[in-house]
Structure 1
Amino acid sequence: MKHFTLIALAIAIPTGASAHASGFEITLARAQNMQGAIVPEVVLTVDTGRTRLDRGQLQNSVSSQLSRVGVTPHTVEVQSVATAAIQFAADQDTGLQSFCYERWCARVSLAKISH
């Protein structure tokens, strides 16, 4: 029960205005991983107005969100999510890409972010 409470609290924590200036928004939700467990889900929305994103900012933002709920992701996992976001920005791809790892999931999409 504690696990779900921590996730709910993390969802309520604002991600800050810097995410908008960086060309993406990042929030936390919950998702079911491949083993059927409920895990934190990083929801990363790339702004349609941006064609380039900073890899370091993306990776730091993903890691920071997950650390708020006690998850330390593997570097390669965070790199994969950041690469997907960078590709969405460059290609202006309107699809959705989902990732699920043992301890967390991620969803990357492109949308207009109001400033």
Structure 2
Amino acid sequence: MYRQILVRPDQRRFQLIFWRSDHSEPLRSYQLNTVTYGTASAAYLAVRCLHQLAIENEQQFSQASHIIKTDFYVDDLLTGSNSLEELATLCKDISNILSQRCFELRKWVSNHPDILTVTGIM
């Protein structure tokens, strides 16, 4: 997820790594263009991107947008529905919203054996 989030060019100077393959070589510096896992701000930036996607899509997909805002823990989504049909629609809508910015949901699990077939996930 983090590698899908680009850092603004004027902020990349704060994400430098220094590298050399051998201790006899001079150090080289590299700027990182995407959010780096393990940095203090990474989880916040990931969640903020999800919220922005939800905001941008709340007119067309109000229920899916609400779920994106409330049912994610960083990059894990845990949600449910009262009917198989409604859940299938939500799965498709949430997947479509997130795929707009290359956030592909993977590792689907359900307590109903038919949901993965109904949604076309499996």
Q: TM-score, normalising length from structure 2? A: 0.34
Q: RCO greater where, 1 or 2, for CA within 8 Å and sep 6 or more?
A: 1
The structure with the largest alpha-carbon Rg is: 2
**Greater share of residues in strand:** 1
**Greater share of residues in helix:** 2
